[in-house]
Structure 1
Protein backbone atom coordinates (compact mmCIF):
# COMPACT_ATOMS: atom_id res chain seq x y z
CA UNK A 1 0.00 0.00 0.00
CA UNK A 2 1.61 3.12 -1.15
CA UNK A 3 1.81 6.12 1.14
CA UNK A 4 -0.04 9.17 0.02
CA UNK A 5 1.87 12.39 0.53
CA UNK A 6 -0.34 15.34 1.27
CA UNK A 7 1.02 18.81 0.73
CA UNK A 8 -0.37 21.33 3.17
CA UNK A 9 -0.34 24.81 1.67
CA UNK A 10 1.31 27.48 3.76
CA UNK A 11 -1.16 30.26 4.40
CA UNK A 12 0.50 33.63 4.36
CA UNK A 13 -0.68 36.13 6.92
CA UNK A 14 -3.35 38.39 5.62
CA UNK A 15 -1.89 41.55 4.20
CA UNK A 16 -4.03 44.64 4.41
CA UNK A 17 -4.79 46.14 1.05
CA UNK A 18 -4.82 49.56 2.56
CA UNK A 19 -1.45 51.20 2.75
CA UNK A 20 -0.87 52.69 6.15
CA UNK A 21 -0.52 56.43 5.79
CA UNK A 22 2.70 57.85 7.09
CA UNK A 23 2.33 60.37 9.87
CA UNK A 24 3.38 63.82 8.74
CA UNK A 25 5.54 65.64 11.27
CA UNK A 26 6.42 68.64 9.11
CA UNK A 27 4.33 71.83 9.27
CA UNK A 28 3.00 71.13 5.78
CA UNK A 29 2.82 73.29 2.73
CA UNK A 30 3.38 77.00 3.04
CA UNK A 31 0.11 78.92 2.98
CA UNK A 32 -0.13 81.72 0.43
CA UNK A 33 0.28 85.17 1.99
CA UNK A 34 0.40 83.53 5.42
CA UNK A 35 2.34 86.41 6.98
CA UNK A 36 -0.54 88.80 6.22
CA UNK A 37 -3.09 86.82 8.21
CA UNK A 38 -1.99 88.26 11.56
CA UNK A 39 -1.95 91.93 10.49
CA UNK A 40 -5.30 91.55 8.69
CA UNK A 41 -6.85 89.93 11.78
CA UNK A 42 -5.47 92.72 13.97
CA UNK A 43 -6.91 95.32 11.59
CA UNK A 44 -10.29 93.58 11.66
CA UNK A 45 -10.37 93.55 15.47
CA UNK A 46 -9.31 97.20 15.57
CA UNK A 47 -12.05 98.17 13.08
CA UNK A 48 -14.72 96.20 14.92
CA UNK A 49 -13.78 97.67 18.29
CA UNK A 50 -13.77 101.21 16.85
CA UNK A 51 -17.15 100.73 15.14
CA UNK A 52 -18.64 99.36 18.37
CA UNK A 53 -17.35 102.35 20.34
CA UNK A 54 -15.09 100.25 22.55
CA UNK A 55 -12.03 102.43 21.86
CA UNK A 56 -11.52 106.05 22.86
CA UNK A 57 -11.12 107.98 19.56
CA UNK A 58 -8.79 110.47 21.25
CA UNK A 59 -6.40 107.70 22.32
CA UNK A 60 -6.80 105.15 19.52
CA UNK A 61 -8.50 106.59 16.43
CA UNK A 62 -10.38 104.33 14.07
CA UNK A 63 -8.50 102.86 11.08
CA UNK A 64 -10.46 105.00 8.62
CA UNK A 65 -9.47 108.11 10.58
CA UNK A 66 -5.81 107.11 10.33
CA UNK A 67 -6.22 106.53 6.59
CA UNK A 68 -7.79 109.98 6.11
CA UNK A 69 -5.00 111.59 8.13
CA UNK A 70 -2.35 109.78 6.10
CA UNK A 71 -3.97 110.84 2.83
CA UNK A 72 -4.09 114.45 4.03
CA UNK A 73 -0.43 114.40 5.04
CA UNK A 74 0.49 112.87 1.70
CA UNK A 75 -1.37 115.44 -0.37
CA UNK A 76 0.10 118.24 1.74
CA UNK A 77 3.59 116.98 0.90
CA UNK A 78 4.63 116.41 4.50
CA UNK A 79 4.53 112.62 4.54
CA UNK A 80 6.52 112.01 1.32
CA UNK A 81 9.32 114.30 2.51
CA UNK A 82 9.51 112.62 5.91
CA UNK A 83 9.47 109.15 4.33
CA UNK A 84 12.32 109.98 1.93
CA UNK A 85 14.38 111.45 4.77
CA UNK A 86 13.87 108.37 6.95
CA UNK A 87 14.67 106.01 4.07
CA UNK A 88 17.89 107.90 3.36
CA UNK A 89 19.05 107.72 6.98
CA UNK A 90 18.14 104.06 7.33
CA UNK A 91 19.74 103.21 3.97
CA UNK A 92 23.09 104.83 4.75
CA UNK A 93 23.28 103.33 8.22
CA UNK A 94 22.23 99.89 7.01
CA UNK A 95 24.79 99.86 4.18
CA UNK A 96 27.65 100.81 6.51
CA UNK A 97 26.55 98.29 9.15
CA UNK A 98 26.19 95.52 6.56
CA UNK A 99 29.68 95.98 5.16
CA UNK A 100 31.24 96.31 8.62
CA UNK A 101 29.43 93.25 10.01
CA UNK A 102 30.38 90.97 7.12
CA UNK A 103 34.00 92.17 6.98
CA UNK A 104 34.54 91.77 10.72
CA UNK A 105 32.85 88.35 10.76
CA UNK A 106 35.08 87.07 7.95
CA UNK A 107 38.20 88.48 9.59
CA UNK A 108 37.32 86.92 12.94
CA UNK A 109 36.03 83.64 11.52
CA UNK A 110 38.95 82.88 9.22
CA UNK A 111 41.84 83.96 11.43
CA UNK A 112 42.68 83.27 15.05
CA UNK A 113 44.45 86.61 15.28
CA UNK A 114 41.39 88.36 13.87
CA UNK A 115 39.14 86.53 16.31
CA UNK A 116 41.36 87.58 19.24
CA UNK A 117 41.27 91.21 18.16
CA UNK A 118 37.67 91.51 17.01
CA UNK A 119 35.33 89.06 18.74
CA UNK A 120 35.82 90.30 22.28
CA UNK A 121 35.52 93.94 21.20
CA UNK A 122 32.26 93.31 19.33
CA UNK A 123 30.76 91.39 22.25
CA UNK A 124 31.75 94.25 24.56
CA UNK A 125 29.99 96.63 22.20
CA UNK A 126 26.95 94.35 22.21
CA UNK A 127 26.84 94.46 26.02
CA UNK A 128 26.67 98.26 25.97
CA UNK A 129 23.17 99.61 25.17
CA UNK A 130 23.52 101.18 21.74
CA UNK A 131 21.08 103.98 22.48
CA UNK A 132 23.19 104.80 25.53
CA UNK A 133 25.97 105.80 23.12
CA UNK A 134 23.89 108.65 21.71
CA UNK A 135 25.23 111.39 24.06
CA UNK A 136 28.82 110.36 23.37
CA UNK A 137 28.30 110.28 19.61
CA UNK A 138 26.67 113.70 19.71
CA UNK A 139 29.83 115.05 21.37
CA UNK A 140 32.01 113.33 18.78
CA UNK A 141 30.01 113.88 15.58
CA UNK A 142 27.70 116.77 16.41
CA UNK A 143 23.93 116.84 16.30
CA UNK A 144 23.59 116.53 12.53
CA UNK A 145 23.01 113.46 10.39
CA UNK A 146 26.38 111.79 11.06
CA UNK A 147 25.63 110.55 14.56
CA UNK A 148 22.23 109.17 13.48
CA UNK A 149 23.79 107.18 10.64
CA UNK A 150 26.57 105.95 12.95
CA UNK A 151 24.13 104.69 15.60
CA UNK A 152 22.03 102.89 12.97
CA UNK A 153 25.21 101.28 11.58
CA UNK A 154 26.10 99.98 15.05
CA UNK A 155 22.59 98.60 15.56
CA UNK A 156 22.85 96.80 12.21
CA UNK A 157 26.39 95.44 12.26
CA UNK A 158 26.18 93.67 15.64
CA UNK A 159 23.52 91.04 14.73
CA UNK A 160 25.05 90.54 11.28
CA UNK A 161 28.48 89.95 12.80
CA UNK A 162 27.25 87.65 15.59
CA UNK A 163 25.18 85.38 13.35
CA UNK A 164 27.68 85.26 10.49
CA UNK A 165 30.56 84.57 12.85
CA UNK A 166 28.56 81.83 14.58
CA UNK A 167 27.79 80.24 11.21
CA UNK A 168 31.46 80.34 10.26
CA UNK A 169 32.47 78.77 13.56
CA UNK A 170 29.86 76.05 13.04
CA UNK A 171 31.22 74.84 9.68
CA UNK A 172 32.17 71.17 9.97
CA UNK A 173 35.94 70.78 10.15
CA UNK A 174 35.73 67.78 7.82
CA UNK A 175 34.93 70.16 4.99
CA UNK A 176 38.10 72.10 5.79
CA UNK A 177 40.12 68.88 5.75
CA UNK A 178 38.52 67.90 2.45
CA UNK A 179 39.44 71.27 0.96
CA UNK A 180 43.04 70.81 2.12
CA UNK A 181 43.18 67.32 0.61
CA UNK A 182 41.78 68.62 -2.67
CA UNK A 183 44.38 71.38 -2.68
CA UNK A 184 41.92 74.25 -2.92
CA UNK A 185 43.31 77.75 -2.95
CA UNK A 186 42.35 80.27 -0.30
CA UNK A 187 39.92 81.97 -2.68
CA UNK A 188 38.35 78.67 -3.77
CA UNK A 189 38.04 77.60 -0.12
CA UNK A 190 36.18 80.79 0.75
CA UNK A 191 33.94 80.54 -2.32
CA UNK A 192 33.08 76.84 -2.10
CA UNK A 193 33.13 76.16 1.65
CA UNK A 194 33.00 79.36 3.69
CA UNK A 195 30.31 81.31 1.84
CA UNK A 196 27.76 78.44 1.52
CA UNK A 197 28.33 77.51 5.16
CA UNK A 198 27.94 81.07 6.43
CA UNK A 199 24.94 82.12 4.32
CA UNK A 200 22.20 80.72 6.62
CA UNK A 201 23.56 82.59 9.64
CA UNK A 202 24.21 85.68 7.54
CA UNK A 203 20.58 85.89 6.46
CA UNK A 204 19.38 85.53 10.05
CA UNK A 205 21.64 88.44 11.02
CA UNK A 206 20.51 90.39 7.97
CA UNK A 207 16.87 90.12 8.99
CA UNK A 208 17.69 91.26 12.52
CA UNK A 209 19.79 94.11 11.12
CA UNK A 210 16.99 95.32 8.84
CA UNK A 211 14.54 95.34 11.73
CA UNK A 212 17.09 97.01 14.01
CA UNK A 213 17.65 99.84 11.54
CA UNK A 214 13.97 100.81 11.74
CA UNK A 215 13.85 100.46 15.52
CA UNK A 216 16.88 102.71 15.94
CA UNK A 217 15.48 105.21 13.49
CA UNK A 218 12.31 105.69 15.54
CA UNK A 219 14.35 106.93 18.51
CA UNK A 220 17.03 108.85 16.62
CA UNK A 221 14.59 110.92 14.60
CA UNK A 222 13.12 112.30 17.82
CA UNK A 223 16.49 113.77 18.86
CA UNK A 224 17.19 117.19 17.39
CA UNK A 225 15.72 116.32 13.99
CA UNK A 226 13.79 118.65 11.70
CA UNK A 227 12.35 116.01 9.38
CA UNK A 228 11.62 112.30 9.23
CA UNK A 229 8.86 110.05 10.48
CA UNK A 230 10.15 110.11 14.06
CA UNK A 231 10.19 113.91 14.04
CA UNK A 232 6.62 113.93 12.68
CA UNK A 233 5.50 111.63 15.50
CA UNK A 234 7.33 113.68 18.12
CA UNK A 235 5.62 116.88 16.96
CA UNK A 236 2.26 115.10 16.93
CA UNK A 237 2.84 114.04 20.53
CA UNK A 238 3.25 117.68 21.57
CA UNK A 239 -0.08 118.57 19.99
CA UNK A 240 -1.94 115.42 21.08
CA UNK A 241 -2.44 114.16 17.51
CA UNK A 242 -2.70 110.43 18.09
CA UNK A 243 -3.87 109.83 14.52
CA UNK A 244 -0.63 111.29 13.14
CA UNK A 245 1.39 109.12 15.55
CA UNK A 246 -0.46 106.04 14.30
CA UNK A 247 0.24 107.05 10.70
CA UNK A 248 3.95 107.07 11.51
CA UNK A 249 3.74 103.72 13.28
CA UNK A 250 1.85 102.17 10.37
CA UNK A 251 4.46 103.42 7.89
CA UNK A 252 7.27 102.06 10.08
CA UNK A 253 5.45 98.74 10.33
CA UNK A 254 4.89 98.51 6.58
CA UNK A 255 8.55 99.30 5.88
CA UNK A 256 9.69 96.70 8.39
CA UNK A 257 7.36 94.01 7.03
CA UNK A 258 8.26 94.72 3.40
CA UNK A 259 12.02 94.78 4.04
CA UNK A 260 11.89 91.58 6.11
CA UNK A 261 9.81 89.87 3.41
CA UNK A 262 12.32 90.97 0.77
CA UNK A 263 15.18 89.44 2.77
CA UNK A 264 13.18 86.22 3.21
CA UNK A 265 12.53 86.05 -0.53
CA UNK A 266 16.21 86.54 -1.34
CA UNK A 267 17.12 83.93 1.26
CA UNK A 268 14.79 81.35 -0.29
CA UNK A 269 16.22 82.01 -3.74
CA UNK A 270 19.86 81.93 -2.67
CA UNK A 271 19.44 78.92 -0.37
CA UNK A 272 17.08 76.99 -2.63
CA UNK A 273 19.48 74.01 -2.48
CA UNK A 274 18.64 73.48 1.21
CA UNK A 275 15.83 71.20 2.37
CA UNK A 276 14.68 72.54 5.71
CA UNK A 277 11.60 72.33 7.91
CA UNK A 278 10.30 75.68 6.65
CA UNK A 279 10.61 74.65 3.01
Structure 2
Protein backbone atom coordinates (compact mmCIF):
# COMPACT_ATOMS: atom_id res chain seq x y z
CA UNK A 1 0.00 0.00 0.00
CA UNK A 2 1.23 3.49 -0.85
CA UNK A 3 2.43 5.67 2.02
CA UNK A 4 0.74 9.05 2.37
CA UNK A 5 2.90 11.99 3.46
CA UNK A 6 2.08 15.61 4.20
CA UNK A 7 3.93 17.96 1.80
CA UNK A 8 2.63 21.41 2.83
CA UNK A 9 1.50 23.17 5.95
CA UNK A 10 -2.29 23.61 6.35
CA UNK A 11 -2.37 26.36 3.72
CA UNK A 12 -6.06 26.22 2.74
CA UNK A 13 -9.42 26.53 4.39
CA UNK A 14 -11.06 24.39 1.68
CA UNK A 15 -8.36 23.00 -0.60
CA UNK A 16 -9.58 21.62 -3.92
CA UNK A 17 -8.73 21.03 -7.57
CA UNK A 18 -5.10 19.85 -7.56
CA UNK A 19 -3.56 19.74 -11.04
CA UNK A 20 0.02 19.05 -12.06
CA UNK A 21 1.21 20.59 -15.31
CA UNK A 22 4.58 21.30 -16.94
CA UNK A 23 2.93 24.50 -18.19
CA UNK A 24 3.60 26.03 -14.78
CA UNK A 25 6.23 23.53 -13.68
CA UNK A 26 4.43 21.66 -10.96
CA UNK A 27 1.32 21.60 -8.78
CA UNK A 28 -1.48 24.13 -8.63
CA UNK A 29 -4.60 23.87 -6.49
CA UNK A 30 -7.25 26.21 -5.12
CA UNK A 31 -8.50 27.52 -1.80
CA UNK A 32 -11.99 27.38 -3.20
CA UNK A 33 -14.07 29.52 -0.89
CA UNK A 34 -11.30 32.05 -0.26
CA UNK A 35 -10.91 32.57 -4.01
CA UNK A 36 -7.17 31.86 -4.32
CA UNK A 37 -5.14 29.86 -6.83
CA UNK A 38 -2.07 28.35 -5.14
CA UNK A 39 1.19 27.18 -6.72
CA UNK A 40 3.57 24.82 -4.90
CA UNK A 41 7.18 25.67 -5.74
CA UNK A 42 10.10 23.25 -5.89
CA UNK A 43 11.35 24.76 -2.64
CA UNK A 44 8.08 23.98 -0.89
CA UNK A 45 6.92 27.60 -0.87
CA UNK A 46 3.25 28.16 -1.68
CA UNK A 47 2.36 31.24 -3.75
CA UNK A 48 -1.20 32.61 -3.81
CA UNK A 49 -3.14 34.57 -6.41
CA UNK A 50 -6.62 35.87 -5.61
CA UNK A 51 -9.22 35.68 -8.38
CA UNK A 52 -12.42 36.67 -6.57
CA UNK A 53 -14.89 35.21 -4.11
CA UNK A 54 -14.50 31.65 -5.47
CA UNK A 55 -11.68 29.76 -7.19
CA UNK A 56 -13.30 26.46 -8.14
CA UNK A 57 -10.57 24.81 -10.23
CA UNK A 58 -7.71 25.70 -12.57
CA UNK A 59 -6.42 24.14 -15.80
CA UNK A 60 -3.71 25.01 -18.34
CA UNK A 61 -4.65 26.41 -21.74
CA UNK A 62 -3.25 24.81 -24.87
CA UNK A 63 -1.84 28.12 -26.16
CA UNK A 64 -0.34 29.11 -22.82
CA UNK A 65 -1.70 30.61 -19.65
CA UNK A 66 -4.51 29.09 -17.65
CA UNK A 67 -8.25 29.09 -17.06
CA UNK A 68 -9.84 29.30 -13.62
CA UNK A 69 -13.49 28.83 -12.72
CA UNK A 70 -14.80 31.53 -10.38
CA UNK A 71 -18.16 32.14 -8.71
CA UNK A 72 -20.20 32.70 -11.88
CA UNK A 73 -17.70 32.48 -14.76
CA UNK A 74 -14.43 31.15 -16.11
CA UNK A 75 -11.52 33.58 -16.25
CA UNK A 76 -8.74 33.36 -18.85
CA UNK A 77 -5.11 34.32 -18.30
CA UNK A 78 -2.62 34.47 -21.17
CA UNK A 79 0.48 33.88 -19.03
CA UNK A 80 0.98 31.31 -16.28
CA UNK A 81 2.03 33.95 -13.75
CA UNK A 82 -0.44 36.65 -14.82
CA UNK A 83 -3.84 37.54 -13.42
CA UNK A 84 -6.85 36.63 -15.59
CA UNK A 85 -7.74 39.26 -18.17
CA UNK A 86 -10.91 37.88 -19.83
CA UNK A 87 -14.13 36.41 -18.51
CA UNK A 88 -16.77 34.03 -19.89
CA UNK A 89 -20.02 34.02 -17.91
CA UNK A 90 -21.41 30.58 -17.03
CA UNK A 91 -24.40 31.10 -14.72
CA UNK A 92 -25.48 34.11 -12.64
CA UNK A 93 -28.53 32.50 -11.08
CA UNK A 94 -28.75 33.90 -7.52
CA UNK A 95 -27.24 31.51 -4.98
CA UNK A 96 -25.40 29.42 -7.58
CA UNK A 97 -21.60 29.14 -7.68
CA UNK A 98 -19.16 27.11 -9.73
CA UNK A 99 -17.58 24.02 -8.20
CA UNK A 100 -15.33 21.34 -9.74
CA UNK A 101 -14.58 20.71 -13.43
CA UNK A 102 -11.94 19.71 -15.95
CA UNK A 103 -10.85 19.90 -19.56
CA UNK A 104 -11.89 17.18 -22.00
CA UNK A 105 -10.00 15.30 -24.74
CA UNK A 106 -11.69 17.46 -27.40
CA UNK A 107 -10.29 20.64 -25.83
CA UNK A 108 -13.55 21.80 -24.25
CA UNK A 109 -13.95 22.68 -20.58
CA UNK A 110 -16.58 21.18 -18.28
CA UNK A 111 -17.65 23.36 -15.35
CA UNK A 112 -19.94 22.10 -12.62
CA UNK A 113 -22.03 24.11 -10.19
CA UNK A 114 -23.81 23.88 -6.88
CA UNK A 115 -25.56 26.41 -4.64
CA UNK A 116 -24.14 28.04 -1.54
CA UNK A 117 -26.71 26.11 0.47
CA UNK A 118 -26.22 22.90 -1.57
CA UNK A 119 -29.93 22.69 -2.32
CA UNK A 120 -30.91 19.37 -3.92
CA UNK A 121 -30.76 19.30 -7.73
CA UNK A 122 -30.19 23.06 -8.04
CA UNK A 123 -26.81 22.78 -9.78
CA UNK A 124 -25.73 21.78 -13.26
CA UNK A 125 -22.82 20.81 -15.50
CA UNK A 126 -21.80 23.14 -18.34
CA UNK A 127 -19.56 22.70 -21.37
CA UNK A 128 -17.44 25.58 -22.66
CA UNK A 129 -16.20 25.04 -26.22
CA UNK A 130 -12.82 26.25 -27.51
CA UNK A 131 -14.83 29.06 -29.18
CA UNK A 132 -16.08 30.05 -25.69
CA UNK A 133 -19.68 29.02 -26.29
CA UNK A 134 -21.43 27.81 -23.14
CA UNK A 135 -24.00 25.02 -23.07
CA UNK A 136 -25.69 23.24 -20.16
CA UNK A 137 -25.18 19.48 -20.52
CA UNK A 138 -26.61 18.17 -17.22
CA UNK A 139 -29.38 19.53 -15.01
CA UNK A 140 -30.70 18.60 -11.55
CA UNK A 141 -27.24 18.27 -10.03
CA UNK A 142 -26.76 18.83 -6.31
CA UNK A 143 -22.96 19.16 -5.90
CA UNK A 144 -21.14 18.78 -9.20
CA UNK A 145 -17.75 17.34 -8.35
CA UNK A 146 -15.11 15.03 -9.84
CA UNK A 147 -15.00 14.48 -13.60
CA UNK A 148 -12.41 12.53 -15.58
CA UNK A 149 -12.00 10.58 -18.80
CA UNK A 150 -10.82 7.10 -19.70
CA UNK A 151 -7.46 6.90 -21.52
CA UNK A 152 -9.17 6.35 -24.88
CA UNK A 153 -11.62 9.20 -24.27
CA UNK A 154 -14.70 7.05 -24.75
CA UNK A 155 -15.91 7.14 -21.13
CA UNK A 156 -16.45 9.92 -18.62
CA UNK A 157 -16.60 9.35 -14.86
CA UNK A 158 -18.66 11.86 -12.92
CA UNK A 159 -19.46 12.49 -9.27
CA UNK A 160 -22.50 14.33 -7.97
CA UNK A 161 -21.64 14.32 -4.27
CA UNK A 162 -25.24 15.05 -3.36
CA UNK A 163 -26.32 11.80 -4.98
CA UNK A 164 -23.61 9.77 -3.22
CA UNK A 165 -22.66 8.19 -6.50
CA UNK A 166 -20.04 8.06 -9.25
CA UNK A 167 -21.61 7.55 -12.66
CA UNK A 168 -20.11 6.63 -16.01
CA UNK A 169 -21.12 7.99 -19.41
CA UNK A 170 -20.23 6.99 -22.93
CA UNK A 171 -18.64 9.91 -24.79
CA UNK A 172 -19.20 10.51 -28.50
CA UNK A 173 -19.05 13.66 -30.63
CA UNK A 174 -18.43 15.85 -27.61
CA UNK A 175 -21.57 14.65 -25.83
CA UNK A 176 -22.30 12.36 -22.87
CA UNK A 177 -24.60 9.37 -23.42
CA UNK A 178 -26.03 6.39 -21.50
CA UNK A 179 -25.50 7.49 -17.91
CA UNK A 180 -25.34 4.61 -15.44
CA UNK A 181 -24.18 4.17 -11.83
CA UNK A 182 -20.64 2.87 -11.29
CA UNK A 183 -20.02 3.32 -7.54
CA UNK A 184 -22.54 4.13 -4.80
CA UNK A 185 -21.30 5.06 -1.34
CA UNK A 186 -23.33 5.27 1.84
CA UNK A 187 -23.44 8.80 3.26
CA UNK A 188 -22.40 7.21 6.58
CA UNK A 189 -19.09 6.26 4.92
CA UNK A 190 -18.45 9.65 3.34
CA UNK A 191 -19.06 11.68 0.21
CA UNK A 192 -17.38 10.92 -3.10
CA UNK A 193 -15.58 14.05 -4.27
CA UNK A 194 -12.77 14.87 -6.73
CA UNK A 195 -11.17 12.19 -8.90
CA UNK A 196 -8.25 11.28 -11.17
CA UNK A 197 -7.98 8.58 -13.85
CA UNK A 198 -4.69 6.76 -14.50
CA UNK A 199 -3.31 5.21 -17.70
CA UNK A 200 -4.92 1.86 -16.89
CA UNK A 201 -8.32 3.52 -16.63
CA UNK A 202 -8.63 3.03 -12.88
CA UNK A 203 -10.14 5.88 -10.91
CA UNK A 204 -8.81 7.47 -7.72
CA UNK A 205 -11.60 9.24 -5.80
CA UNK A 206 -11.37 11.39 -2.68
CA UNK A 207 -13.91 10.50 0.01
CA UNK A 208 -14.87 13.58 2.01
CA UNK A 209 -15.63 12.84 5.65
CA UNK A 210 -13.89 9.46 5.58
CA UNK A 211 -10.26 10.61 5.47
CA UNK A 212 -9.64 8.34 2.50
CA UNK A 213 -8.90 8.09 -1.20
CA UNK A 214 -10.38 5.04 -2.95
CA UNK A 215 -9.12 3.44 -6.15
CA UNK A 216 -11.73 1.75 -8.35
CA UNK A 217 -11.53 -0.40 -11.45
CA UNK A 218 -13.30 0.77 -14.63
CA UNK A 219 -16.03 -1.71 -13.64
CA UNK A 220 -16.49 -0.15 -10.20
CA UNK A 221 -14.65 -2.70 -8.03
CA UNK A 222 -12.65 -1.21 -5.18
CA UNK A 223 -8.93 -1.93 -5.58
CA UNK A 224 -7.18 0.13 -2.92
CA UNK A 225 -7.83 2.49 -0.01
CA UNK A 226 -5.43 5.19 1.18
CA UNK A 227 -5.94 6.57 4.69
CA UNK A 228 -5.14 10.18 5.60
CA UNK A 229 -4.83 11.72 9.08
CA UNK A 230 -7.58 14.26 8.35
CA UNK A 231 -11.28 13.60 7.67
CA UNK A 232 -12.11 16.05 4.90
CA UNK A 233 -10.32 14.78 1.79
CA UNK A 234 -11.50 16.75 -1.22
CA UNK A 235 -9.70 15.88 -4.46
CA UNK A 236 -6.67 14.20 -6.01
CA UNK A 237 -4.47 14.42 -9.09
CA UNK A 238 -1.62 12.38 -10.54
CA UNK A 239 1.52 14.31 -11.36
CA UNK A 240 5.23 14.64 -10.82
CA UNK A 241 7.99 13.86 -13.36
CA UNK A 242 6.70 10.31 -13.93
CA UNK A 243 3.03 11.08 -13.19
CA UNK A 244 3.13 8.62 -10.28
CA UNK A 245 2.74 11.16 -7.46
CA UNK A 246 -0.84 11.26 -6.22
CA UNK A 247 -1.45 14.76 -4.83
CA UNK A 248 -4.36 15.05 -2.39
CA UNK A 249 -6.07 18.22 -1.16
CA UNK A 250 -7.95 18.55 2.12
CA UNK A 251 -10.28 20.94 3.94
CA UNK A 252 -10.64 22.47 7.39
CA UNK A 253 -14.30 23.22 6.80
CA UNK A 254 -16.50 22.47 9.80
CA UNK A 255 -13.62 21.32 12.00
CA UNK A 256 -12.86 22.86 15.36
CA UNK A 257 -9.69 24.86 15.92
CA UNK A 258 -8.00 21.97 17.73
CA UNK A 259 -9.33 19.16 15.55
CA UNK A 260 -7.17 17.59 12.83
CA UNK A 261 -4.32 20.13 12.89
CA UNK A 262 -3.09 18.99 9.45
CA UNK A 263 -6.46 19.64 7.79
CA UNK A 264 -6.05 22.05 4.89
CA UNK A 265 -2.64 20.66 3.93
CA UNK A 266 -1.69 18.93 0.70
CA UNK A 267 -0.64 15.29 0.94
CA UNK A 268 1.12 12.99 -1.53
CA UNK A 269 1.44 9.26 -2.12
CA UNK A 270 3.73 7.54 -4.63
CA UNK A 271 1.74 5.01 -6.66
CA UNK A 272 2.69 2.35 -9.21
CA UNK A 273 0.50 3.27 -12.18
CA UNK A 274 1.10 6.69 -13.76
CA UNK A 275 -1.61 9.17 -14.49
CA UNK A 276 -2.54 10.68 -17.81
CA UNK A 277 -1.00 14.02 -18.80
CA UNK A 278 -3.30 16.88 -17.86
CA UNK A 279 -5.71 17.89 -20.60
CA UNK A 280 -5.55 21.60 -21.50
CA UNK A 281 -8.46 23.85 -22.39
CA UNK A 282 -8.24 24.84 -26.07
CA UNK A 283 -10.05 28.15 -25.55
> Quick one: higher RCO (CA 8 Å, sep 6+), 1 or 2?
1
TM-score where L is the length of structure 2: 0.20
Larger Rg: 1
Higher helix proportion, which one? 1
